[in-house]
Chains A and B, each alone.
Chain A
C-alpha cells in the first residue's frame, strides 16, 4: 500500500513521449486511481471509465504538469474532477449489485478483503469512503488527502476515525470476521 511516492521524473519523461514512463506510472498508480474512482462512483464500470479517461488525460496533460513535488495528488485531482463531471452529467448509476459482484465473481484474493471493501462502499458516506480508500491505497497523510478533497484536515481526521470504527462494528456484527 504505497503509491504515496510517485517519481515526478515519470511525468516529465511522459511529457517527452516516453511510453515506458507511462507504463511505470500506470503500474504504480492504477489501483489508487481505480479505487478512488470507485469510492466516489460506487460502480465498477463507471470507475473503469474514469480510470481510462484519467490515464489518457494524465498522459496528454503531462506537458502542463507543474512541478510541486506532488505528482500523485495531481493525478488524483484529475480523477476526482472526471468523477464529478461524470456525476454532474448524470451518467452514473449507483448500482448496489455491482459490488456484490466483487465477492461473487472475482476468484482472486481473500473473501474477507472483499467483504471489507463492500462494507466500506456500503456503510460509509461519500467523503468517508474516499478518505479511507485513499489512505489505504496510497498511504497518503491526512493532510494530503484533505488537500485533494478540499476538506479541512481536522474533518478528514475525524471522518477517518469514525470510518474505521464503523467498519470494525460492521465486521463485528457480521460475526465471522475475526
Chain B
C-alpha cells in the first residue's frame, strides 16, 4: 500500500467520522450565516431608496442638489449606525494612514482590509468630531463619509471654509494612490449633493520618519505636514515653512491646488468667497500701477505667501515695463510691488487669452479662470477613474510535494519487502 493511499484513507476516515456541530456552535455564538454587509443595508433602507442602486458612499444622485436637511439626516444616520455597531479589528498591521483635515484634523490608521485600526484626533475640534463615533473596524470609505458628515453638521465645512485635505500615506505608492483617488472622489461626490460648494485635495505620500516628526512637533496631521513639505518644493522664493505652519488648512489647500503639488487629486475650488479672487487682485494691481486694463498684457497669477499672508502674485506687461504685484488675498492691499524696464518684448502667441481672462471679472473667483491652461492639470483625471477592485488574495496550495520526498533520506531496515502489493 502506498504512502499516498494511506494518507488518503486517513483523511477519508477522519472526515467521515467528524461530528457535525456547526448548528449548535452557531446557536451558541448567536450568529447566522447571512453575509454581513456591514452598514450599507441600513443606509440604503434609510435614505437611498429613491436614488437608485445602493452605494456605500451615499448619497450619490447625479447633479441633483439635496436639501440641506436631508444631508443632515444622512450624516446623522451614519452616526447612529456607527454608534450602534461595535466592530472588532483583527488585523492590526497598518496598511496606510489616512488623514482628513478641514480645521479639525484626524488621523486614521487602516489595515490591509482597509478597515480602521484606530482614529486619532490631531486637535481639539477633531475630538469633538470623533467623540461621537466608534470607527474601529469599520470600512475606511464609511469612516470618511461619517467624518465628513459630522464636519458638515458641526459647521466646520461651509461655503467660506469649504476645503478638505485628504492624505494617504502608505509604503506602497500604488496602493496609497488608489485609496487616495477613490476616497477623494467619494468625498467630492458626497459633497456635491450638499449646499456647500466644497473642494477636495487628495494627496499621496510615503511613510517618512522626518515628516512624521515634523507633524508631531507642530501638532498637525501627517497629511498637513506632507502638504507643507510639498509646497516648499514648488519653487516659491517667498514662502517659508514657518509661514505655511501659520496658515489655515484652507489656505494650504488652495496653495496645493494652485501650485500644482505633485501626486494630488483635486476637485472643486478651494478659493471660496473668503478670498477676493483674481479679478479683484488684478484690479488692485492695475490701480496701483496706473495702467489701464486694456493695456495690461500677458497677465499671470500665482498663489504664494508673503510674510505669513496668502497673496496673489499678479504679473503683467504694459508697454516696455514688466509689473509684479503681491496682493493680500483677503484685503486686496498691495503688499509688494516691482516695476522693471524690459523693452525686449515679443508678443505672446496666446496674448488674447490673458486679456479675456481678466475681462471675465464680475464673480471674482472660480469659473473665470477654470479653463485656463495653467490650471488644467488638477482636474483632468477623473473621467477615466475606476476604483480598482479589491483584491482577494488566494495563494494556491500545493498539496503533495511532501508526500513523496521522503524515503530516500530515511532508508532503513526492514521494509524492503513491504512495498509490494
The interface of chain A, by Cβ under 8 A from chain B, is 1-2, 4-5, 7-9, 11-20, 22-23, 26-27, 30-31, 34-35, 38, 44, 48, 51-52, 55-56, 59-60, 62-67, 102, 106, 108-110, 112-114, 116-117, 120, 132-133, 135-137, 139, 141-142, 157-158, 160-162, 164-165, 167-169, 171-172, 177-178
Contact = CB atoms under 8 A, between A and B. Distances in A.
Nearest to A62: B90
Interface string B71-88: 000000000000000011
B35 A18 contact: yes
Contacts of B115: 12, 16
A16 B17 contact: no
Q: Which 3 A-B residue pairings sit nearest by Cβ, starting from the closest?
A: A19-B31, A63-B88, A5-B397
B29 A22 contact: yes
A178 B402 contact: no
Contacts of A20: 33-36
A108 B1 CA distance: 22
A120 B46 CA distance: 59
A38 B11 CA distance: 13
Contact of A109 (B13, B88, B393, B415): B13
A63 B18 contact: no
B12, B89, B90, B399: residue with the most chain A Cβ atoms closer than 10 Å: B90
B322 to A, nearest CB: 61
A54 to B, nearest CB: 10
A106 to B, nearest CB: 6
B13 A56 contact: no
Contacts of B392: 9
A59 B30 CA distance: 11
Contacts of B348: none
Given A11-B90, A139-B399, A51 B19 contact: yes
B6 interface: yes
B36 A18 contact: yes
Contacts of A110: 9, 12
Contacts of B399: 1-2, 4, 139
Contacts of B92: 66-67
Given A30-B22, A106-B16, A169-B415, 20 more contacts: A4-B399, A15-B137, A19-B36, A20-B34, A22-B26, A23-B22, A30-B20, A31-B14, A63-B90, A66-B91, A108-B16, A113-B13, A116-B10, A132-B10, A133-B10, A133-B14, A136-B6, A137-B15, A172-B418, A178-B1
B340 to A, nearest CB: 62
B50 interface: no
Contact of A51 (B6, B21, B26): B21
A114 B36 contact: no
Nearest to A67: B91
Nearest to B29: A59
Contact of B90 (A12, A51, A158, A160): A12
19 contacts: A12-B113, A15-B87, A17-B31, A18-B35, A19-B26, A19-B31, A55-B21, A63-B89, A66-B90, A110-B12, A114-B16, A117-B17, A133-B10, A136-B6, A136-B11, A136-B14, A161-B406, A164-B406, A168-B419
B33 A136 contact: no
B421 A35 contact: no
A16 B88 contact: yes
A65 B21 CA distance: 23
B91 A12 contact: yes
Contact of B9 (A48, A117, A165): A117
Contacts of A178: 1, 421
Contact of B18 (A35, A56, A135): A35
Contacts of A64: 90
A168 B14 contact: no
A65 B10 CA distance: 30
B113 A34 contact: no
A14 B52 CA distance: 30
A30 B26 CA distance: 14
A59 to B, nearest CB: 5
A113 to B, nearest CB: 4
Interface in B88-136: 88-93, 111-113, 115
A62 B88 contact: yes
A109 B12 CA distance: 7
A62 to B, nearest CB: 6
Contacts of B36: 13, 16-20
B15 to A, nearest CB: 5
Given A19-B31, A48-B21, A137 B90 contact: no
